[in-house]
Amino acid sequence: MRNDHLGIITQGSLSGGLEMRLQPNVSVEDLRVGRFVVIEGRSNRFFSMLTDVTLSAANPSILLNPPPQDDFLLSVLSESCTFGTVKVQPMLMLEQSEEGDGDKAELRPVKTIPSHFSPVYEATSKDFALVFGEENDADPNNNFFYVGKPLNMETPVCVDLSRFIERSNGIFGKSGTGKSFLTRIFLSGIIQKDIASALIFDMHNEYGWQSMSESKSAPRVKGLKQLFGHKVTVFSLDAESSRARGIPDARELYIGYNQIEIEDLDLLKVELALSEATLENAYIVKEKLGADWIAALLDMSGEEIEEFTQVHKGHPTAIKTLQRRLNTIVSKTAYLKPRVNHNYIEEIIQNIQAGKHIVLEFGRQNNLLSYMLATNIITRRLHSEYVKRTEVYTANPDKVMPPRKLMIVIEEAHKFLSPQTARQTIFGIIAREMRKYFVTLLVVDQRPSGIDPEVLSQIGTRVTALLNDDKDIDAVFTGVSGSNTLRTVLSQMDPKQQALILGYAVPMPVVVRTRPFDAEFYRQVSTVGSAHDPSDTAAVKDRADKAHEELFGSF
């Protein structure tokens, strides 16, 4: 018998899970919920997760009359009368005859259960590689990326990034659990594998050049620009702040009043206390004053507004309220200009199509109003462009390159995807439909319960650190079958450097100790100074020009 034998299956069901009786030499204190184990059935191997641990006794009278604290007596009882039982949830099964068949081995959903007294073993490195895949730098088509290790082992657990980028994804966890570190790990894998571009709306300036860490030994951690050099372009809505933080080559970005749509104001109606009547009057003002309606309205006096409403309908009080709210936006967002001649959105798209990744820093402009406005405006323009480019590609797939896949990263996602706004914001549209237009979301949030359930049901892969609120835990498992057993697993995780990964990019749920974001990680993923470092800016520009001509020339 293998020396990693944990116990035997004694009872259970397909819907409710199985119960394992522990071997006498295995202590319940050595087991953790979320641990990955393998059940050896007669015809199938069952890859399973431990979901609960219980103390049991063969004779209840022993529990009513506990024995004295004698080591010998306790040892005798533990082998005959008292024992540990563990709830085990099978997640995948593999026919025994297929094991060792290499590519022919096919993991299947669990549709049966093992027989009585089937042995249960610790999962080996080979088991993890079979289920979760393994990295292979020699294979350019290998997109498995090591993100962490199992709770009881030192073997890598990988995520299939080619599946990860196919759908929108979420990284959740309460404040202080390391969501930004998790996000950096996944983004580093996407950049290293070069399978999509990322557009990161960096509210707290954590992803571009460097950010602070709670570790005393390494108080600063590298950002994506330091790790991947010219593969990453930093745009800044606060150039002065970016220069003060030492970011090289940060591009300034401004947004014109004429780029603000009423739909953008609708998203901000809670922050700005805008009523429906005020927004209705905004449509009247825009219709009469044209594309530069905001600049024109801001210059109007009270008497001019009164005269406007007498000629063109509208309510003077509502329009004056609108003017005050627009002044609030302008005063809080220094990146807004009456008119911007340069097309920054097109520049961002050219960088993306040239294979680069964009970090948009907000500097000191990181108030929620500023963040929501810029993020919505830029994403709405990108959405429009990607729809056009996809239509051109669909019409001429043999002559036109497809748009490069894009993953948009947003923080405070519940502000954009709440039940009240998700149906009308661009982010709700992307989450529901944009996969077919080569664009997906990576939402980062500490309050998943604030996100519309319909949007959550579209989230392909969920990477979840510790959550305490029951509503947030319920939200994470929206649309997930068999989630009752996983709730216990999630609630028992450590508050730091642990995450539950489930969904489209992994064959089964797994709890991992997340990969440290440290010097060893930098060494393994960084392309700066390597043969893959695209430091030849002329070559990058050539790629951008070629992509622009092929994809966008007709527009």
Specify the amino acid at residue 312.
Answer: H
469 and 324 within one domain: no
State pLDDT tens for residues 387-404.
999 999 999 888 888 899
Q: Does residue 186 sit in the same domain as residue 249?
A: yes
70 has pLDDT over 70: no
What pLDDT was estimated at residue 386? 92
Residues 43 and 163 in one domain: no
> Is 148 part of any domain?
no
pLDDT at 486 over 90: no
In sequence order, which residues have a C-beta less than 8 Å from that of residue 383 and are 6 or more positions away?
Answer: 426, 429, 430, 434, 437, 439
Whether the full predicted model's pTM is greater than 0.75, yes or no, is yes
The domain boundary, picked from 99, 123, 147, lies at: 123
> Is residue 141 in a domain?
no
Question: Both 83 and 206 in a single domain?
Answer: no
Q: Are both 400 and 546 inside the same structural domain?
A: yes
Confidence band of 268 (pLDDT split at 50, 70, 90):
confident
Tell me whether residue 129 is in a domain: no
Amino acid at the residue 457: S
pLDDT given for residue 318 in this prediction: 93
- Helices 368-395, 344-353: axis angle to 10 degrees equals 60
Are 92 and 127 in contact by the 8 Å Cβ rule? The answer is: no
Residue 471 lies in a domain: yes
pLDDT band of 361, cuts 50, 70, 90: very high
Domain stop point among 335, 362, 389: 335
* CA pair distance 185, 224, nearest whole angstrom: 10
Query: How many domains does the structure of the chain reveal?
Result: 3
Q: What share of the chain is helix, strand, coil (3-state, %, to 5)?
A: 40, 25, 35
80 with 214, same domain?
A: no
Residues 318 and 429 grouped into a single domain = no
Q: Tell me: do 325 and 362 sit in the same domain.
A: no
The answer to whether 407 touches 162, Cβ cutoff 8 Å, is no
- pLDDT bin (cut points 50, 70, 90) of residue 98 is low
Q: Is residue 152 part of a domain?
A: no
pLDDT tens for residues 404-462? 999 999 998 998 898 887 777 888 888 887 678 899 999 999 999 999 998 998 899 99
Within this chain, do residues 10 and 118 fall inside the same structural domain, yes or no? yes
Asked whether the beta carbons of 547 and 401 are under 8 A apart, the reply is yes
Round to whole Å and give the CA distance between 491 and 305.
57
User: What pLDDT sits at residue 139?
Assistant: 87
In a domain, 140, yes or no: no
Closest CA to 329 of 246, 235, 262, 283: 262
Measured distance CA(294)–CA(330) in Å, rounded: 10
The domain in which residue 376 lies consists of: 159-254+342-550
Q: Please report how many Cα atoms fall inside a 13 Å half-sphere around the Cα of residue 198, on the Cβ side.
A: 33
Packing angle, helices 276-289 and 302-312, rounded to 10: 80
Q: Please say which residue of 73, 95, 123 terminates a domain.
A: 123
The model's confidence at residue 193, banded by pLDDT at 50, 70 and 90, is: very high
Residues 222 and 326 reside in one and the same domain: no
**Distances in whole angstroms, Cα of residue 358 to Cα of each of 230, 234, 406:** 11, 6, 10
| 184 within some domain | yes
Residues 318 and 354 in one domain: no
What are the tens digits of pLDDT across the range 288-335?
999 899 999 999 999 999 999 988 888 999 999 999 999 999 988 889
321 and 353, same domain (yes or no): no
State the Cα–Cα distance between residues 470 and 472, nearest whole angstrom.
5
pLDDT at 116 over 90: yes
Give residue 539's pLDDT: 44
pLDDT at 407: 96
Q: What's the CA gap between 438 and 389, in Å, rounded?
A: 10
Q: Is residue 68 part of a domain?
A: yes
pLDDT of residue 196: 95
For 74-84, what is each residue's pLDDT tens digit? 666 666 677 88
Q: How large is the average pLDDT for residues 21-42?
A: 90
Q: For residue 434, what pLDDT is reported?
A: 62
Contacts of 179 (CB under 8 A, 6+ apart): 171, 172, 173, 444, 446, 465
Calpha distance 37→70 (Å, rounded): 33
Asked if residues 182 and 171 have their Cβ atoms less than 8 Å apart, the reply is: yes
Q: Mean pLDDT throughout 506-514?
A: 93
Dihedrals phi, psi of 499, to nearest 5 degrees: -150, 145
Please give the residue that has the higher pLDDT: either 92 or 25.
Answer: 92
Q: List pLDDT tens digits, range 154-191.
A: 899 999 999 999 999 999 999 888 899 999 999 999 99
Q: Supply the CATH number for residue 242's domain.
A: 3.40.50.300
Give the model's pLDDT for residue 512: 94
Average pLDDT of the chain, as a whole number: 86
Q: Could you report the per-residue pLDDT of 215-242, keeping only the tens digit for each?
A: 666 678 899 999 999 999 999 999 888 8
